[in-house]
């Protein structure tokens, strides 16, 4: 999971996307987001 620092969009991808698919921000604007903690809903 990657989060765009520009628009806040969450991108689901195994590896880092080239750019934000929502706003087109460069990949350096994408921050790794830890997966949701299991057992918590
Ligand atoms: Zn974005």
Do residues 8 and 36 touch, judged by C-beta distance below 8 A?
Answer: no
**pLDDT digits over 14-36, tens only?**
888 999 999 999 999 999 988 77
pLDDT tier, 40 (very low <50, low <70, confident <90, very high otherwise): low
pLDDT of 2 strictly over 70: yes
CA of 40 to the centre of ligand 1 (A): 27
Q: What is the pTM of this model?
A: 0.75
> Nearest Cα to 33, choosing from 24, 20, 23?
20
CA of 6 to the centre of ligand 1 (A): 5
**Could you give the CA distance from residue 20 to residue 38 in angstroms, rounded to a whole number?**
26
pLDDT score for 4? 96
CA of 2 to the centre of ligand 1 (A): 10
- Report the alpha-carbon angle 27-6-26, nearest 5: 20
CA of 19 to the centre of ligand 1 (A): 8
- Bridge-partner residues for 10, per DSSP? 3
Do residues 33 and 16 touch, judged by C-beta distance below 8 A?
Answer: no
């Amino acid at each position: 999971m990657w989060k765009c620092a520009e628009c806040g969009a969450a991108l689901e991808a195994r590896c880092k996307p080239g750019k934000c698919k929502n706003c087109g921000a460069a990949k350096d604007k994408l921050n790794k987001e830890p997966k949701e903690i299991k057992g918590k809903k």
